[in-house]
Amino acid sequence: MKVLENLYYSKDHEWVRAEGGRALIGITDHAQLGLGDVVYVELPEEGAEFQAGDAIGVVESVKAASDVYTPVSGKVLRVNEELIDSPERINEDPYGSWLAELEITDENELEGLLSPEKYKALCLEEA
Amino acid sequence: MDHLLKTPLYPAYGEYGAKIVDFAGWALPLQFEGILPEHHAVREAAGMFDVSHMGEVEVTGKDALFYLNRLLSNDITRIKDYQVQYNIMLNENGGAVDDVLAYRYSDQHFLVIVNAANRIKDVQWMKEHAQGYQVTVNDSSDDVAQLALQGPKAIDIMKAIIGEAAEQIRFFRFSDSIRIKGVSCLISRTGYTGEDGFEIYLKPDHAADVWRYLLEIGKEYGLKPAGLGCRDTLRFEACLPLYGHELAEDITPLEAGLGSFVKLEKQNFIGKQALAKQVESGVSRKLTGFEMTDRGIARGGYEIRKDGKKAGYVTTGYFAPTLGKNLGLALIDAGFSGPGNGIEVVIRGKSVHGVTVETPFYKKKYKK
């Protein structure tokens, strides 16, 4: 189960890649392993605004629909259209398959997220 | 997992990478390699399922045939020794207590295969209704393990294991004089996937060895271990009912489109009056297939609307792996249950468009 070093993590198994006031959001390797084969994604609208913790999309596996929550507050700049036709990319490359890019409202929120070490520990705890 | 029931194959699951879940109180594999690869394997080569959690009820005695014909929807007097028949066990309202397979050894000896979730209820029902008949009802489930080998290559794998005897086991027939690795087996040409295949019943003691052996021999044919996840997507594509979804105590076989398994012309049976009335007045709701026309996956329990008004609900819905589309089965008002009707499925509070279609979605590949 992979955990990348240069990312922030949420306790709901989302990852955040933050750079220059923007954040890419996706779901972790742990999350995609738990879901199984992903067959459908619902992405947010461009321009939509969210608070940290809001549901911004849905990832559906064969068996179930799973909400994706944004770990940070922000406005959607763009979404990853590729996932609409190829949702299986989330299984194949969870850290390369960002769902949405947000313009971050408050950089300080990143401090409240989990470091890679803390996230690894969380995953071990949940096992 | 400690509080869950385990089949005799449970110790072997780990060797194949099983992801285990709670199904009706049993610890069973949801998947091994993954639901999609296992589903495709069954359609293109073969898959093997541990279905030992199913219940087996022996019915024996002078009145066995007469008793069962009263309890079941189909005409069981029509089958021969070593033949199998699909039946619905009905309640007085014509609803389903369970759907079952009845295996006939002779007119005084039957084996009835029941759904795991209904086993205790079914046995109680069967024993209650045995009063006044010279018949013994015995739950032998704890003494029976069951494997299902399903797919176009199942026959080749079976031949590799038991030789030409495999060809002798015809569709919905069984043999109880087969040995696999010296282990005595009852094998029927039955299944729940829409593909050709075999169901193998044996004593628990060596079931895990037989499972491993079958997987070993079957490997070169593309055989994969398969779990509950693809078991549901496979039967769904073939439009086979799942009790609790397409059939229930308050869903009759007529509503579920299973009228061909109800023989109203036979002598009195439980539920006959209620179903005869339903034929006369027509069903008010009917099981219908549909396809999503907007983006979205319909799932069991979702509401169905017609022109904004509530019209029914989804009984089972999935992204169908072989057909590559989002499909569903729904119980909807009989008025628009024919194909070609626009409907709306409520997904997370939004109405998403679909259209009713002909069933089955996937044409069964039985070798009759």
pLDDT of residue A127: 79
Contact B321, B236 (CB under 8 A): no
**pLDDT greater than 80 at residue B20:** yes
**pLDDT greater than 90 at residue A5:** yes
Is A72 a member of any domain? Answer: yes
What's the complex ipTM?
0.91
Closest residue in chain B to residue A61, using alpha carbons only: B319
pLDDT of residue A22: 97
Is A1 a member of any domain? Answer: no
pLDDT band at B358 (very low <50, low <70, confident <90, very high): very high
Cβ within 8 Å of residue B321, ≥6 positions away: A62, B35, B36, B39, B40, B230, B233, B237
**Which chain B positions have a beta carbon within 8 Å of A65's beta carbon?**
297, 299, 348
What pLDDT, in 10s, does the model give residues B207-240? 999 999 999 999 999 999 999 999 999 999 999 9
Interface test with B, best of A63, A68, A88 (most B CBs within 10 A): A63
Q: What is the largest CA-CA distance in chain A?
A: 38
pLDDT of residue B147: 98
pLDDT of residue B209: 97
**Which chain A positions have a beta carbon within 8 Å of B18's beta carbon?**
none
Cβ within 8 Å of residue B56, ≥6 positions away: B111, B112, B113, B114, B139, B140, B141, B144, B146, B201
Is A46 a member of any domain? Answer: yes
pLDDT of residue B336: 87
A60 touching B (Cβ < 8 Å): yes
Q: Number of structural domains, chain A?
A: 1
Please give the domain boundaries of chain B with CATH numbers for all domains: 10-49+144-237 (3.30.1360.120), 55-139 (3.30.70.1400), 284-357 (2.40.30.110)
Q: How many residues does chain A have?
A: 127
A33 touching B (Cβ < 8 Å): no
| Per-window interface: B 335-354 vs A, CB < 8 A | 348
pLDDT band at B264 (very low <50, low <70, confident <90, very high): very high
User: B319–A63: do the CB atoms touch at under 8 Å?
Assistant: no
What pLDDT, in 10s, does the model give residues B100-111? 999 999 999 999
User: How many pairs of residues across A and B have Cβ atoms under 8 Å apart?
Assistant: 34
**Which chain B positions have a beta carbon within 8 Å of A60's beta carbon?**
297, 319
pLDDT of residue A1: 86
**pLDDT greater than 90 at residue B58:** yes
CATH of residue A45's domain is: 2.40.50.100
pLDDT of residue B140: 98
Is A2 a member of any domain? Answer: no
pTM: 0.96
**pLDDT greater than 90 at residue B2:** no
Region of B127 on the Ramachandran plot (φ > 0 left; ψ -120 to 50 alpha; else beta): alpha
User: B35–A60: do the CB atoms touch at under 8 Å?
Assistant: no
Domain range for A63 is 8-105+112-126
Is A3 a member of any domain? Answer: no
B188 touching A (Cβ < 8 Å): no
pLDDT of residue B120: 97
| Per-window interface: B 104-133 vs A, CB < 8 A | none
User: B30–A37: do the CB atoms touch at under 8 Å?
Assistant: no
- Other Cβ atoms within 10 Å of B368 Cβ, number: 8
Q: Name the E strands within B210-281.
A: 223-226
**Which chain A positions have a beta carbon within 8 Å of B36's beta carbon?**
37, 62
Closest residue in chain B to residue A41, using alpha carbons only: B296
pLDDT of residue A58: 98
Is A29 a member of any domain? Answer: yes
Element (H, E) at B290: strand B285-292
**pLDDT greater than 90 at residue B198:** yes
**pLDDT greater than 80 at residue B269:** yes
Is A33 a member of any domain? Answer: yes
Region of A97 on the Ramachandran plot (φ > 0 left; ψ -120 to 50 alpha; else beta): beta
What integer best gives the mean pLDDT of chain B? 97
pLDDT band at B1 (very low <50, low <70, confident <90, very high): confident
**What SS3 class is residue B38?**
helix
